[in-house]
Structure 1
Amino acid sequence: MNQKQLLLLPVLFFSFLLSQSGFAQKTLSSTDQSLRYSLYSRLGLKIIPIKLSSTTYKLQFVVEKIEEAPTFETFSFSYALLSSYEQEITSSLTNLLTAQDLVGDTDRHWLFEKTVELPADQSTAIALLTVLDTRQQDEYVIHVDLKGLFVFDQPDFGYYYSNEIPFDQNYLTKGEALLFKTVTKPAIHSYFYPSRFDVPFPPMETRPAEVSKEIKVENQGDFLANIPKQLNDEGYYFFQTDTSSQAGIILKTVHDAFPKVKDWDEMVQMVTYISTRKEHETLLLAQDKKKALDEYWINLTRNPEVAKDLIRNYFRMVEFSNILFTDFKEGWKTDRGMVYIVMGPPQEVNFFEDREVWSYAGIDETSKIRFTFARVKTLLTPHFYTLNRSRAYQPVWFKNISQWRSGRMAF
């Protein structure tokens, strides 16, 4: 691409935005973010904020290169700061990010950093990153609440890969190390939770899930920043520079095979979403889990080749759920992970301040199938969602499970 073409990219980017139908009314809540959950995304986006002062934040825009050897000039990058999910996104709010703004460019990531100042009296602030693929006009979007009803506070530190790119995964393999960097204090305090979680109830089960009366926690004390910190235990960690504050970072540590299945015992747990209660109990009680699972898959399909495709497709969805939705739980055990595995990637995703809504195609516009995940305020993560369950989901849920069991469900 020549210099003249490079100079035209920002113009083309804004021309695209302005030409979109209804752009004048475009808001964060009306923006479809389904590409973030696609099985075929070319990029993965993340915004990692670090609080520098009561009104100043460093925004780390991390773009993962999922596509092999992508070209920077193929994409247009921009960010915006919004005061609500319903604020109109105008060109005056949009700031372009160019090659001159790059602070990191590796085989796996592009990294931009911007320091922003918020008014002291602003109660809600959202950072929005948009990347346009100029080849087919795919628009990748990610956002993060800097301040708001579901955010206690932002941490004043971050953690990084060995090449100092901000850590952008939802999990870390146990035994690996990260580099922590702080803004003010020299040390970070850590807590470790070895908790294991149950599989969620299906969408039509309206009785409340059981809540553990006790959560085991290990106070692991302080460690110094700017020195690689190895995390050796499997569970999840919570880090803070100030234990009296409500700001911190959670990090899930996982087994070596994650996000893939580890062993036959774990595979037995994972097939619960498409199994009858009797089938699952039989698998749980089996002495030889491999043999029991082989019989299970063959009994479902009555065809070894169809069974192989079913296994491959099902555990592909498990893997993507782990990548996308892991928080302090493994992704496949979350409500969003469960729906993702059974229903597949949503055709449309919309975020509101208090909820996330997934839409799947129905017979027509009025018959769309929607799953609403309510946002829950928790100290561990500002992005924790639980499904609003309803008996009305039963027909479509059982239909999809039947398709899985026949080997016909593939995404």
Structure 2
Amino acid sequence: MKTRDQHPMNCNTSRLLIFLILFVGTTLPTLAQKSLSSLNQTLRYSRYSRLSLKIIPIKVNKTTYKLQFQVEKIEENPEFNSFSFTYSMLDSYDEEILSDNTFILTSDDLKYDTERHWVFEKSFEIPESTEISIALFTAIDTRQDDEYFYSTDIKSSFVFDQPNFGAYYANNVGFDQNYLNVGESLLFKSNGGPNLHSFYYPINLEVPYPPMETKPASVPRELQVIDQGNFLELIPKSFDEIGYYFIQSDTSARAGFVLKTAHEAFPKVKDWDEMVDMVTYISTRKEHEDLMAAEDKKKALDTYWIGLTRNADTAKELIREYFRQVEFANILFTDFKEGWKTDKGMIYIVMGPPQEVNFYLDREVWSYGGTNESSRIRFNFARVKNILSPHYYTLNRSRAYQPVWFKNISIWRSGKMAF
């Protein structure tokens, strides 16, 4: 494990390196004349990404924030020097990204280098009067110039507050998944005292309505909450029930940490019953009702898939690809719902990975297909202020989506991937 102290670099060498990168043009020109809202962040959701980026903010005091910039190594045995890493602190989604507000991260900045992660840590002073502060983390694959981006609001109208504690794996790397399998543990470290408080929600949330269904989604009349009381930081805490947990250091405050817990096989499918639930997006109501009522779910599913494709080998390939989409949706979009049940997960499964992804303060926009503006399909996900998550989005539904939605479902049902 590498630390910053183990890689000394004198000041002159460091300045020379920064000068060369900034002005010789090996890294930053790709960001010139760009703002956060103009960046295409499609690699964030690609099925073929080599890296996954994450920023984990922790509030140290009223004006000091510690940010852990994490790089998950998806590619097998990646070389650090194959990538260049930078970060920016921005005051809006429209602020121009320039060399003046972009800072390079080198191997000397590594806090941890583990089998699965490269991790950088930086602390920032953000005045209390600041209304918007956004952190942007960028990685460029120098072999083919692929650009990976991850941004998060440190302060904005959609963020109640940042927690003053963090959740960590046993090796001190910040917890960067959207879910935890039941029975696993996390370690919590707090700047606010030895005790944290846990609330447990044993709820199973419903599948979303399709994108052209404009009536409001059903809302549970009652939401059961189990107050689990206090637990100590720096002692591994096990999460043993399926549902979601909300962790706080101060129950009178609005900042906290939400954790979705799932069965042992998650993000993969657990059993035949779950598979029946998940084919709802490409099934007719009658087909799905028959599957739900079948005593032998495996036999019913086999009949269902072969009935769609008319070929056993094609059915096997289609099953593999459909549930691979489900797995990716679970990895990428789980919040307090399983990823496949979220609006983003639903669109991702049926439509495939978006070809363009743009973030704004109040929304996220996915674009598909078309060679010009008039032929492109866009899905707008409105950002909703939510105490459980500062990154909670719901789809702006419209009847205009019906033709493309049914077209893609028809492609799936014909035995082909819809993208």
Q: Which TM-score applies when normalising by structure 1?
A: 0.96
Please name the residue that 2:391 is paired with. Answer: 383
Q: Does 1:121 align with 2:129?
A: yes
| Offset at residue 184 of structure 1 (A) | 2.2
CA separation in 1, counterparts of 2:384 and 2:54?
20
Equivalent pair of 2:27/2:84 in contact (CA under 8 Å): no
| Offset at residue 18 of structure 1 (A) | 5.3
Q: Does 1:135 align with 2:146?
A: no
**What letter corresponds to residue 307 of structure 1 in structure 2?**
A
Q: Does 1:56 align with 2:25?
A: no
Q: How does 1:323-362 map to 2 (within 5 A)?
A: 323-362=331-370
CA separation in 1, counterparts of 2:313 and 2:364?
38
CA separation in 2, counterparts of 1:211 and 1:313?
32
1:14-41 superposed Cα distances (whole Å, 9 cap, x missing partner) = 6255544xx5431100011110000000
Please name the residue that 2:105 is paired with. Answer: 97
Do the aligned partners of residues 281 and 124 (structure 1) sit closer, same or farther apart at CA in structure 2, a change above 3 Å counting?
same
Does the residue aligned with 1:208 lie in a helix, a strand or coil?
A: coil
Please name the residue that 1:38 is paired with. Answer: 46
Does the residue aligned with 1:210 lie in a helix, a strand or coil?
A: coil
| Offset at residue 12 of structure 1 (A) | 4.9
Equivalent pair of 2:21/2:28 in contact (CA under 8 Å): no
Of 391, 408, 416, 1:400 maps to 408
Please name the residue that 1:372 is paired with. Answer: 380
CA separation in 2, counterparts of 1:389 and 1:164?
41
CA separation in 2, counterparts of 1:194 and 1:66?
32
Does the residue aligned with 2:400 lie in a helix, a strand or coil?
A: helix
CA separation in 1, counterparts of 2:375 and 2:27?
30
Does the residue aligned with 1:29 lie in a helix, a strand or coil?
A: helix
**What letter corresponds to residue 70 of structure 1 in structure 2?**
P
CA separation in 2, counterparts of 1:84 and 1:95?
17
Of 358-367 and 51-60, more deviation after overlay is shown by: 358-367
Equivalent pair of 1:10/1:76 in contact (CA under 8 Å): no
**What letter corresponds to residue 305 of structure 1 in structure 2?**
D
| Offset at residue 213 of structure 1 (A) | 1.4
| Offset at residue 79 of structure 1 (A) | 0.6
Please name the residue that 2:203 is paired with. Answer: 195
Q: How does 1:1-400 map to 2 (within 5 A)?
A: 11-12=20-21, 15-16=25-26, 19-20=29-30, 23-400=31-408
Equivalent pair of 1:63/1:111 in contact (CA under 8 Å): yes
Q: Which TM-score applies when normalising by structure 2?
A: 0.94
**What letter corresponds to residue 69 of structure 1 in structure 2?**
N
Do the aligned partners of residues 281 and 125 (structure 1) sit closer, same or farther apart at CA in structure 2, a change above 3 Å counting?
same
Identity, % of aligned pairs? Answer: 65
1:74-127 superposed Cα distances (whole Å, 9 cap, x missing partner) = 111111100111111111000111111101001100010000001221100001
Does the residue aligned with 1:121 lie in a helix, a strand or coil?
A: coil
Matched positions, count: 405
| Offset at residue 366 of structure 1 (A) | 2.3
Equivalent pair of 1:126/1:144 in contact (CA under 8 Å): yes
**What letter corresponds to residue 250 of structure 2 in structure 1?**
D
Long gaps (5+) in structure 2: 1-8
**What letter corresponds to residue 364 of structure 1 in structure 2?**
N
Please name the residue that 2:6 is paired with. Answer: none
Does the residue aligned with 1:129 lie in a helix, a strand or coil?
A: strand
Equivalent pair of 1:9/1:76 in contact (CA under 8 Å): no
1:319-351 superposed Cα distances (whole Å, 9 cap, x missing partner) = 000000000000000000000000000000000
Does the residue aligned with 1:306 lie in a helix, a strand or coil?
A: helix
CA separation in 1, counterparts of 2:22 and 2:287?
53
> What's the Cα RMSD here?
1.6
CA separation in 2, counterparts of 1:217 and 1:351?
33
CA separation in 2, counterparts of 1:8 and 1:278?
65
Long gaps (5+) in structure 1: none
1:258-293 superposed Cα distances (whole Å, 9 cap, x missing partner) = 001110100000000000011001001111111110
CA separation in 2, counterparts of 1:364 and 1:165?
43
Equivalent pair of 2:36/2:97 in contact (CA under 8 Å): yes
| Offset at residue 11 of structure 1 (A) | 3.7
Does the residue aligned with 1:329 lie in a helix, a strand or coil?
A: coil
Do the aligned partners of residues 264 and 290 (structure 1) sit closer, same or farther apart at CA in structure 2, a change above 3 Å counting?
same
CA separation in 2, counterparts of 1:410 and 1:390?
21
CA separation in 2, counterparts of 1:230 and 1:409?
39
Please name the residue that 2:3 is paired with. Answer: none
Equivalent pair of 2:67/2:121 in contact (CA under 8 Å): yes
Do the aligned partners of residues 10 and 140 (structure 1) sit closer, same or farther apart at CA in structure 2, a change above 3 Å counting?
farther
CA separation in 1, counterparts of 2:308 and 2:148?
38
Does the residue aligned with 2:97 lie in a helix, a strand or coil?
A: coil
| Offset at residue 230 of structure 1 (A) | 0.6
| Offset at residue 210 of structure 1 (A) | 0.7
Does the residue aligned with 2:300 lie in a helix, a strand or coil?
A: helix
1:241-271 superposed Cα distances (whole Å, 9 cap, x missing partner) = 0000000000011101100111010000000
Equivalent pair of 1:13/1:132 in contact (CA under 8 Å): no
**What letter corresponds to residue 147 of structure 2 in structure 1?**
E
**What letter corresponds to residue 162 of structure 2 in structure 1?**
Q
